[in-house]
Structure 1
Amino acid sequence: MTVKRRPSGRHHGNLREALEEAALTLVAERGPHGFTLAEACRRAGVSVSAPYKHFADRDALLASLALRGYEEQRRRYRAALDGADDPAEQLAAFATAYVRFAAQERALFDITFLAGLDTAHHPGLAAAGSALHDDLLPVVSRLAPDPEAAFGLLLRVAAAAHGLALFLQQGMLPGHWNTPAAVEAQAADAARSLARTPGDPHACPDR
């Protein structure tokens, strides 16, 4: 006869990783606000006291995953930038990678941008976001040497990619336009268009 034991609070593998993977699955099913830390414990097969060895609360668990999201984004964006020399094409590649990350890693994307985590309590998130900015700023600075104009260009390109990524997630685009490939192309085109007019109202759109 097999005796079924209750979780003891110990995990046969990496407890932190098991909890993070359980949380990712729950976010994929319910969104970043749709589960409790106790539910993540049940999914991971550990006692409800187990996560406190690694995470103070549910937000701390989500913040750890958000950092993973930022790291994955940075890896993808750097690879995208390395694939081109022209700054406009680099921004197009970044915008494409942004939409692709949102589609392929939806749970991480939702945690990173929609969980409402307080950066005052999780300062590592602000630092991770700044690292993305620091990677992209040299690219936009080649198109708009003025720091304010460069930041404005980066903001517009990122906002366009973010909005299109959300449109794709929510099925808001009609017909064949609501596919990952089509939205990636739209994001790239938007980035190229913005790169032609980086903030100077007198700039020639063909330069």
Structure 2
Amino acid sequence: MSPPTARRPVGHHHGNLRNALLEASLELVGERGPHGFTLAEASRRAGVSVAAPYKHFADRDALLAQLATRGYHEQRTRFAAVMNPSEDPVEQLASFAAAYVRFAAEEPALFDVTFNAGLDKSRFAELASAGDEVAGLLLPVARQLAPAPDAAFDLLLRIAAAAHGLAVFLRQGLFGMGSAALSDTEAKAARTAREIMGQNARP
């Protein structure tokens, strides 16, 4: 009886390969930040050859752009979910600020790759479009409080900047750890957003 023929590993189908690389890269972002790994390391983490990523991504930035696009889509989903129950633009933007903090806490790797990878959106149309979708959700709400386009953008920018700072402080442990710290920071973000909008309404 002849010995059984050795089977070669089946490997990843194209869709699975792409997803495996994205998931491996997201893990590495979580461990080392968006600039702390190479495509070769992502390949090894995913269990594929170092040449495999180039079947789907031109370079590391192209892979990170896909993750950042996912980050924007996740943000839009979360923001829409918390804003929809209210018709009050002040409460909608306060809810957005709180959800921004929660996104940073619950999806730290996506948060980092979305905001800290330094990607050139002019290279990645899908990434630019995903960012525009988030702005398209938020700016019409801001315009209810500040009708001039520049003023609405400035208002939204101040609210987002405050929420971003609080989210970073939370992740650095400045507000403590655990679910109570997260809830407190969400409340801080919502309260700060309301204060900013109150200042905007003053003559």
Q: Which TM-score applies when normalising by structure 1? A: 0.88
Structure 1 range deviating more: 126-135 or 158-167: 126-135
Amino acid at match of 1:170: Q
Matched-pair contact (CA < 8 Å) for 1:165–1:183: yes
Matched-pair contact (CA < 8 Å) for 1:7–1:47: no
Taking the aligned partners of 1:140 and 1:117, their CA distance within structure 2 comes to 26
Which residue number in structure 2 is paired with residue 159 of structure 1? 161
Structure 1 range deviating more: 94-103 or 11-20: 11-20
Q: Does 1:88 find its partner at 2:90?
A: yes
Structure 1 range deviating more: 120-129 or 103-112: 120-129
Matched-pair contact (CA < 8 Å) for 2:170–2:176: no
Deviations 1:136-164 (A, max 9, x none): 11111111122222111111111111111
Which residue number in structure 2 is paired with residue 49 of structure 1? 51
Which residue number in structure 1 is paired with residue 3 of structure 2? none
Match of 1:37 among 27, 36, 39: 39
Q: How many residues align?
A: 200
Counterparts in 2 of 1:168-183, with a 5 A limit? 168-173=170-175, 179-183=181-185
- SS of the residue 2:12 aligns to: coil
- SS of the residue 1:14 aligns to: helix
Taking the aligned partners of 1:95 and 1:151, their CA distance within structure 2 comes to 15
Deviations 1:112-134 (A, max 9, x none): 00011111222332222222111
Displacement after TM superposition at 1:61 (Å): 0.7
Which residue number in structure 1 is paired with residue 107 of structure 2? 105
Taking the aligned partners of 1:6 and 1:107, their CA distance within structure 2 comes to 34
Seq. identity, %: 62
Taking the aligned partners of 2:136 and 2:159, their CA distance within structure 1 comes to 15
Structure 1 range deviating more: 84-93 or 115-124: 115-124
